[in-house]
Amino acid sequence: MLTINGDQNYDRLKEVKQFDDSKVGVKGLVDSGLTSIPRFFHHPPETRPTQPTPDSTSAPRTIPVVDFSQPRSTVVDQIRRASSSLGFFQIINHSVPQGALDRMIAGIKDFNEQPTEIKAQHYHREAGRGAAFSTNFDLYQSKAASWRDTLQIRLGPTPPDYDSLPEVCRAAVAEWDPEIRRLGEDLMGLLSEGLGLSKDRLKELSCLDGRVMAAHYYPYCPQPDLTVGLTSHTDPGVLTMVLQNQVSGLQVKYGEDWVDVEPVSGALVINIGDILQIISNEEYKSVEHRVLANPHLDARISIAVFFNPGARENLFGPLPELVSQEKPAVYREFVYADFMGKFFTKELDGKSLTNYYKL
């Protein structure tokens, strides 16, 4: 029995398990007509998000938007500057057709807005088993749950069994993966050149091969001030590519302030992951970000593709080309599988993973 706020009769684990076993997700709770959220979604007051102060001068008011129709040297420079400071940028006029973006958003919306009994067929927490639908991968590790549902699909290095994916979004995912892989290869080349490396350096490290899609659905929350959509964290992999609909909520930490990542039509949001911060020897920054609980009646949809090394047993650390007497290695080497093992056994929170490997 866990004591919360002096209440000795509240059994949090029991309530969490009852919710998880129901397989309804937070969308199911909203559909049931509830007007107050269950207590295990309540975050402590000191960790609840606050908006940036109006008089703040240290934070940029917008995230950089990089236009891929510019000359390559300009794109490399803009991506390098954004990755070295904020760790986030948006890209427009990229190679993914608008139709593919629209169909992916629609597919995830349609999946989440199906009857619960259909979605529940995919509700489980077994990593690597087809499509995994659940509420919070860290539901049992976290101190408080977040108001979102997620459909996760492993795209590589082994392609998914498309017949096992939800029928309503199967075709959209099959179209999405090759488009995103091509764009991911372009981005890795631009990021490599920004570090003064050969275009294929990150590709050679298998950084394109391990791809996981996490499609988040943030329904209306009746008490958004008590919870969050996604807690503050950094992404563990190399690079994350995010397609979001026009409902806002994503924020990036800049100094002590939080900056809104406002939706831009046709854009994809790109952010640096912990692995790329490490192998770049901190030339590129992996930055904390979060999602506010959704106060809008329209759902927020965010489809993230995480690019991770496919060579899980290889050693990773600062690249030798980026280490010198003037800029010694900031991190020690590690096996990638061990690194990810640490990520999945802790609560989604902050920068503790990179700090663990600092010299």
284-308 pLDDT tens trace: 999 999 999 999 999 999 999 999 9
Q: What percent of the chain has pLDDT over 90?
A: 81
Identify whether 111 is part of a domain: yes
| Domains of the chain: total | 1
Q: Which residue(s) pair with 289 in the sheet?
A: 233, 252
Query: Residue length, the chain?
Result: 359
Is residue 157 reached through a cis peptide bond, with omega within 30 degrees of 0 on the bond before it?
Answer: yes
293 or 336: which carries more pLDDT confidence?
293
Q: Which helix (H) or strand (E) holds 97?
A: none
The packing angle between helices 167-194 and 98-112, to 10°, is 130
β-sheet with 250-254: strand ranges across: 228-233, 289-292, 250-254, 257-260
Q: Which of 66-80, 196-210, 238-252, 337-351 has the lowest mean pLDDT?
A: 337-351
Does a structural domain hold residue 339?
yes
At 301, phi and psi to the nearest 5?
-120, 130
The H or E element containing residue 289 is strand 289-292
pLDDT-based confidence at 349, cuts 50/70/90? low
Res 188 pLDDT > 80 = yes
What is d(CA 96, CA 179) in angstroms, rounded to the nearest whole number? Answer: 6
Locate 170 and state its tokens.
């199967």
**Tokens describing residue 171:** 């075709």
Residue with tokens 């090759």: 178
> Is 44 a domain residue?
no
User: Tell me, what's the pLDDT at 354?
Assistant: 86
Q: What is the pLDDT of residues 105-116, one digit of tens each?
A: 999 999 999 999
CA angle, residues 191, 195, 199, in degrees to nearest 5: 55
Q: What is the pLDDT of residue 347?
A: 55
Residue 108 forms part of a structural domain? yes
Looking up tokens 């989604």 gives: 348
* 6 within some domain: no
Instruction: Work out the widest C-alpha separation in the chain, in whole angstroms.
Output: 64
Full residue range of the structural domain in which residue 340 is found: 56-356
Beta pairing partners, 292: 228
Give the SS3 label for residue 137: coil
Residues 273-299 as b or e (16 or more Cβ within 10 Å = b): bbbbbbbbbbbbbbbbbbbbbbeeeeb
Q: Quick check: helix, strand or coil at residue 138?
A: coil
Report yes or no: 68 and 94 within 8 Å, Cβ to Cβ: yes
Strands 228-233, 210-218: pairing is: unpaired
Question: pLDDT class for 351, splitting at 50, 70, 90?
Answer: low
Q: Is residue 191 part of a domain?
A: yes
The reply to whether 282 falls in a domain is: yes
Mean pLDDT of 147-152: 98
What CATH number is given to the structural domain containing 306? 2.60.120.330
With beta carbons less than 8 A apart as the criterion, state whether 263 and 244 touch.
yes
pLDDT at residue 51 tops 50: no
151 pLDDT above the threshold of 90: yes
Strands, E, within 126-190: which ranges? 131-134, 149-154
User: Band of the pLDDT at 50, cuts 50, 70, 90?
Assistant: low
Q: With cut-offs at 50, 70 and 90, classify the pLDDT of residue 282.
A: very high
For residue 277, tell me if it sits in a domain: yes
Whose CA is closest to 314, among 177, 212, 210, 239? 210
Residue-level pLDDT at 9: 72
